[in-house]
Structure 1
Amino acid sequence: MEPNWDFIFHRRHPHYFRNLECWQRSAAAYAGGEAYLRQALIRHVSEVELEFAERLRRAYYFNYPRKLARLITQFVLSVEPTREGADPALVEDFSRSGLRAGEVMRQFSTLLNVFGGAAVEIEMPFFEGEVDCERRNREKLRPAAKVHSPLEIPDWGFGADGELDWIIFEEHVRVAPGPWKPAVELLRRKLYTRNECFVLEREAGTGIVRQRLHAVHRLGAVPAFYLTEPDGYGLNSGHYFEDVVRISDAILNNESESQMNIVKQMFGLLVISEGFARGARSAGGSRSGGATEKFSHVLARSAAIWESPEERGISRYISPSGADTSRIREENDALKRELFDTVGMALVTPCREAQTAESKAWDYHQVKQFLACRADMLEQAELRCWKLMAKFDPSIRVPSVLYNREFAVADLKSSIESLLELREFSGGTAYRREVEKSALFLLEKIRKIDPLRRRAILEEIEREEKEADHA
C-alpha cells in the first residue's frame, strides 16, 4: 500500500504550534531591515496615514537582538575548542559546503540564542558501487553536519528509550535545471527514521507530492538530534529571547518618537485662529458657479490645528521642548541596560565606580556561569555530531572535544597584576606550571595564538614539569 505522503506535509508538533508565532517574530527581529520596521513600528491613534508614512521612512533600527545573539556566541567561542584525534579534512569542511567545524557550531549556538532550540542533521550522500580513497575525496563521500532552526522542524517523536524515533525537516527549494528551462519552487520535507530516510517534495503551484528519494541507512538511530535549553522549554516555559525582542521594540518606537520630536523642533506645528479658518470657508463658498470648495481640517500631530480668537487669535508655530527628547533618550538608556541584564550579559553597570569589589565579582561570576553552561551544551552537541558521523563511516575517529570554560570577563589589567603577584608566592613546580598556563590563557585575550603554537607551548610547560619531577 502506497503511504499517504501528503499527510507528512500536514504534520505539526504541539510545541511547534505553541511557539511558531514567537519564533517568526524572533527571526524577523534578528533579520532586521525595512520589513521588520513595518512590522514592529507602532502607529499612534492620533497619527494620520501620511504622518506615519513619513515616520516609517525616517525610522532606523538598532538591531540589539542580533547583537546579543552574536555576542554570546562570540564570547563562548572566543577560544577555539580542542579536538584531539579529529580528522583534519572533516574539521576544515564539516558541512561539505565549506563551513569548518567551528563555523557550524557558531551557527548552532546563535540559533540556540535566538530560538532556545536547534537541531543538527548528519547527512550522507547517496552513492553506488565501490568506494576507494580517491573517489571518496573526489566526490566528498563523507558525512556532513547541517544546522536547522526550530522553524524548519515541524514534527518529531521519541521512542521508549528516550531517543529520537523519527524527525521531519522542512525547507524551501528552488530547482533550476538550466538557463533554458524555468525554475520550479518546491517545498521539501525530509523524514528520518532509525533505519530509513525519505525525501518528499511538493510543487508550489500544483500541490503535487512526489517521493524524491528513499534510502536505507541501517544506523539503528536517527542521524540527527534536537536540543533545547533545559531551563527554558525543559521547564515548560518560554524562551527569554521573546522578552529581548519586546524590549528592543520598545527602544525602536521610543527612538522613532525622539527622532520625530527633533523634526518637530526644527519645523514646528502650525496653529491658526478659528476666525481665519471660518473666513477661508466663506471665501470658498462664495466662488462663482455656486460650487462649494472644501476647507478640511485634520486633528493630528503634524497637521495644522485650530484655535479660537479668545484663546490666542494669532497664527504661529509650536514645537515640543528639548526636555521631552532627553527624557526619551534616558528611558532608552535604561532599557538597554535591562536588555543586557535580561540575558545575563550585563557587564557594565550605570555606576561602576560605586560598585563594591564583591558586587563586581558576583556580576563577573554570573556572566561566566552563563557562558560556561552554553559551552557545555555546544561541547555535547559537537560530540554527538562526531558520534553520528562515525556511525555512517566507522573509519572516522570520534575525537576528544573540549570547549573553553574560562572566560576573562573581568578587567584584563587587574587579572595580569594578580597573576604577577601569584608568581611571587613560594610554591612547588606544579603550582608554577598552573600559573604559566593561566598566563597563556590571558595572553590569548591580547593576541590570538595559532592552535598548533598554543599546543606546543602547553607541551613545553608539561615537559618542564615532568623534568622537574624526575630531578
Structure 2
Amino acid sequence: MSKDPLLELIKRRHPRYDEKLAHWNFLDTTYEGGRSWFAENIFRFIKEGDLEYAGRVERAYRFNHTKQVVDLVDKYLFKMDIARKTADAPPSVQKFWSDATLAGLDMDELSKRISTATSKFGRIYIVIDSNATAETAPRTKADEKKSASRIYAYIVTPQDMLDMSYDELGVLNWCLIKENHRDDADPLNSTGKFLNRYRLWGRNSWVLYEERKEKGKTKVVEIDRGEVAIGCVPVIEADHNFCEDQFAAPGLIDDVAYLDRANANYLSNLDAIIQDQTFSQLTIPAQALVAGDGEDAAGKLAELGTKRIFTYNGEGGKSPEFISPDPTQAGMILDAISKIVGEIYHSVGLQAERTGSNSGGGQGEASGVSKAYDFEKINSLLASKAAALELTERKILKLVALYAGEEGALKDDLVTYPIDFDVRGIYDEFEIAARLSLLAAPDEVRREQMRAVIKKLFPGGGKKLMEKLEASLKAWPPKIEPGLGAPATPGGKKDPVKAAATQKTAKELAA
C-alpha cells in the first residue's frame, strides 16, 4: 500500500529543524515570560517533595532580562531616523511604506517587529503577498486607486518554516509554511477549533493544504491554490546578523536566555532560604512521638505530621530546638546573581544600563574608559543589525515593486539605515561647525562636517535635493576677507553690516 504523498509532505522538516526547535521555543517563551514559564524552567532540588516544589514554583519571580536586552537594543537602534526617499520611490513602494501589513502597520513598525523577532530567533522569514487575483488586478491607474487590492507583508517564525529547497545559486525553489487557522467563520455552525494548515510556496504557484481527522486517521486535503505572478518564491530571510547558513542563524539572546534562566533559579533558591529562615524546622526527640499519660498516640502523630520536623534519639537528654539554613549561603547566591546579571548586559555592551544606581546595588558605577568600550561594542552591534535590516527592507521593496510591475522604477538607495549611533544631535553638529569656523579649520574639514549636518537635517531628501545641496557645498565655506572677517560684496568691497554681524557672532561664540 503506497503512502499518502500529501501526508508525507506535511511531515517534511529541513535538516536543522529538529535540532533547533526546542531552542527556538525556549527563546520565545523566555522572552514572553508569564507564569507558565516557571513550571517548566524552575528546577527541582534533589529529594525535594512535591508540595515544597509546587510552593516554590508558585512563589517564583524574575525580572525579564531577556526582554529587557532585546527592547534596549531596539530602543537605541530606532532612536536614529531611517532615511527613506519618498519622492524618488514608485507609487507601490510609497503605498507600502505607509501600509505594510494587514493590520495597517507602516514600514517603521514592521521594521521594529522584524528587529525584535531576529533578536529572538536569529533568522525569521517574511512573506510578501498580494490579495489581487487575475480577475481583480487593476488594469489602469484609475482602477488601481479605486481597487481594494493591496500588497502586504507578514512574519513567519522559524518554528513555522518547516522545509525549503534552494537552487545552486542559493535562491528558493519552494518552501513549506505551517499556518494556524481557527474554524470560527460561522458563530452557530463552526467548531471554534484550531486547524493546522500548510502553504506550499513555489516560484509560479502556491497550494494550501489542511490537516483533518477522519475516522481516527489523519488526512490532508487541498483547499485552495493560486498563481505567483512575480516568478519567484515571495519569501525572504531576515537575519539578526549576516549568516551564510541556509537553515538557521545566531540570535541576540542565544546565551542571554540561558543566563536569565539560571538567574531565576538562583532567585528561587534564595526564596527557599528565606522561607526556611522565617519558618525554622523543629528537631524533637523520637520518644516524644510515643503517647503518654493517656493521650491519643494516633492524634498526636497526625498533629506533628502537619509540621516539618526532624527526630533524634532523646536518650542523651538534648532538648528540642529549631534549626535553619546557614545564612551565609544567601550571600553566596546574591553574589552569583549579581555576576550573572552583569554578564547578561556586558555581553551585548549594555553594562552601563546596570550600574549600582539602577540595579539595586552590586554593580559599581562604570568608569569613562569602560563606558567608551561598552559604547564601541553596542555601536558595532547596532551598526551590524542596522545593515541587516536595511538589506531586508531592500529585498522587501524589490518584491513589492515586482508585484506592482514597477521594478524598473526601483532604485537601490531608496532606504538607508544609520550606521553610526553616536549621541550627537543636530545642535551638537551646529556647535562643532561654529568651533571649526573659529579655529579657521581647512575648508575641506568644514565642508565634510557640513555634509554631516545636511544628512541629519534632510534624512529623507530625494536625489534632486541632495544633488542640489552637494553642488552648493562646492562654494562653501564662503571666503572671509582678513580684517573685519566679513564676506566680500560682489564688487570686492567689504559689507560693513555683515562685518559687524560677523564680529558680534564670533565674540559670542568665543565667550
Same fold, judged at TM 0.5 (above):
yes
Q: Is the 8 A contact 2:283 2:310 kept in 1?
A: yes
Aligned to 1:120: 126
Q: What is the rounded CA distance, in whole Å, between the counterparts of 2:467 and 2:40 in structure 1? A: 55
Q: Is the 8 A contact 1:284 1:294 kept in 2?
A: no
Which residues in structure 2 correspond to 1:427-438 (within 5 Å)? 427-429=441-443, 431-432=445-446, 434-435=448-449
SS at match of 1:141: coil
Structure 1 residue 352: Cα displacement = 4.7
Aligned to 2:98: 92
Aligned to 1:162: 170
Taking a change above 3 Å as real, the CA distance of residues 112 and 129 of structure 1, as seen in their structure-2 partners, is: closer
SS at match of 1:14: coil
Q: What is the rounded CA distance, in whole Å, between the counterparts of 1:294 and 1:259 in structure 2? A: 28
Aligned to 2:219: 208
Q: 1:317 aligns with which of 306, 315, 322?
A: 322
Taking a change above 3 Å as real, the CA distance of residues 310 and 192 of structure 1, as seen in their structure-2 partners, is: same
Query: What are the Cα deviations for residues 179-226 of structure 1, in whole angstroms up to 9, with x where unaligned?
Result: 222234221111111111112222367633222222122423211112
Which residues in structure 2 correspond to 1:240-279 (within 5 Å)? 241-279=253-291
Structure 1 residue 408: Cα displacement = 2.5
SS at match of 1:200: strand
The alignment status of 1:403 with 2:417, answered yes or no, reads yes
Aligned to 1:54: 55
Aligned to 1:20: 21
Q: Is the 8 A contact 2:198 2:210 kept in 1?
A: yes
Taking a change above 3 Å as real, the CA distance of residues 320 and 54 of structure 1, as seen in their structure-2 partners, is: same
Taking a change above 3 Å as real, the CA distance of residues 307 and 434 of structure 1, as seen in their structure-2 partners, is: farther
Q: 1:375 aligns with which of 365, 368, 386?
A: 386
Structure 1 residue 267: Cα displacement = 2.8
Structure 1 residue 337: Cα displacement = 1.2
Unaligned runs of 5+ in 2: 356-362, 480-511
Structure 1 residue 381: Cα displacement = 0.4
The alignment status of 1:190 with 2:202, answered yes or no, reads no
Unaligned runs of 5+ in 1: none
Q: Is the 8 A contact 2:122 2:249 kept in 1?
A: no
Taking a change above 3 Å as real, the CA distance of residues 122 and 258 of structure 1, as seen in their structure-2 partners, is: same
Q: What is the rounded CA distance, in whole Å, between the counterparts of 2:247 and 2:231 in structure 1? A: 30
TM-score, scaled relative to structure 2: 0.76
SS at match of 1:468: coil
Q: What is the rounded CA distance, in whole Å, between the counterparts of 1:177 and 1:354 in structure 2? A: 61
Query: What are the Cα deviations for residues 40-75 of structure 1, in whole angstroms up to 9, with x where unaligned?
Result: 011112321111111111111221112222222222
How many pairs does the alignment contain?
A: 454
Q: Is the 8 A contact 2:174 2:201 kept in 1?
A: yes
Q: Is the 8 A contact 1:32 1:61 kept in 2?
A: no
The amino acid that maps onto 1:18 is E
Q: What is the rounded CA distance, in whole Å, between the counterparts of 1:97 and 1:10 in structure 2? A: 31
Structure 1 residue 121: Cα displacement = 0.7
The alignment status of 1:145 with 2:153, answered yes or no, reads yes
The amino acid that maps onto 2:43 is I
Aligned to 2:83: 82
Q: What is the rounded CA distance, in whole Å, between the counterparts of 2:431 and 2:315 in structure 1? A: 74
Which residues in structure 2 correspond to 1:299-378 (within 5 Å)? 303-309=308-314, 313-320=318-325, 322-347=327-352, 350-352=363-365, 357=369, 360-378=371-389
Structure 1 residue 334: Cα displacement = 0.6
Structure 1 residue 275: Cα displacement = 3.0
Q: Which has the larger radius of gyration?
A: 2
Structure 1 residue 463: Cα displacement = 8.1
Structure 1 residue 148: Cα displacement = 1.2
The alignment status of 1:468 with 2:469, answered yes or no, reads no
Q: 1:426 aligns with which of 412, 428, 440?
A: 440
Structure 1 residue 171: Cα displacement = 1.6
Q: Is the 8 A contact 1:364 1:409 kept in 2?
A: no
Deviates more, 1:333-342 or 1:150-159: 333-342
Deviates more, 1:139-148 or 1:273-282: 273-282
The amino acid that maps onto 1:384 is K
Taking a change above 3 Å as real, the CA distance of residues 467 and 263 of structure 1, as seen in their structure-2 partners, is: same
Structure 1 residue 370: Cα displacement = 1.4
Structure 1 residue 460: Cα displacement = 11
When the two chains are superposed, the root-mean-square deviation of aligned CA atoms in Å is 4.0
Taking a change above 3 Å as real, the CA distance of residues 393 and 353 of structure 1, as seen in their structure-2 partners, is: closer
SS at match of 2:159: helix
Taking a change above 3 Å as real, the CA distance of residues 91 and 319 of structure 1, as seen in their structure-2 partners, is: same
Q: What is the rounded CA distance, in whole Å, between the counterparts of 1:101 and 1:52 in structure 2? A: 47
Deviates more, 1:79-88 or 1:56-65: 79-88
Q: Is the 8 A contact 1:422 1:435 kept in 2?
A: no
Aligned to 2:9: 8
Taking a change above 3 Å as real, the CA distance of residues 115 and 199 of structure 1, as seen in their structure-2 partners, is: same
Q: Is the 8 A contact 2:123 2:251 kept in 1?
A: no
The alignment status of 1:392 with 2:400, answered yes or no, reads no
Deviates more, 1:115-124 or 1:269-278: 269-278
Q: Is the 8 A contact 2:128 2:154 kept in 1?
A: yes
Q: Is the 8 A contact 1:185 1:203 kept in 2?
A: no
The amino acid that maps onto 2:375 is Y
Q: Is the 8 A contact 2:132 2:150 kept in 1?
A: no
Q: What is the rounded CA distance, in whole Å, between the counterparts of 1:196 and 1:369 in structure 2? A: 41
Structure 1 residue 19: Cα displacement = 0.6
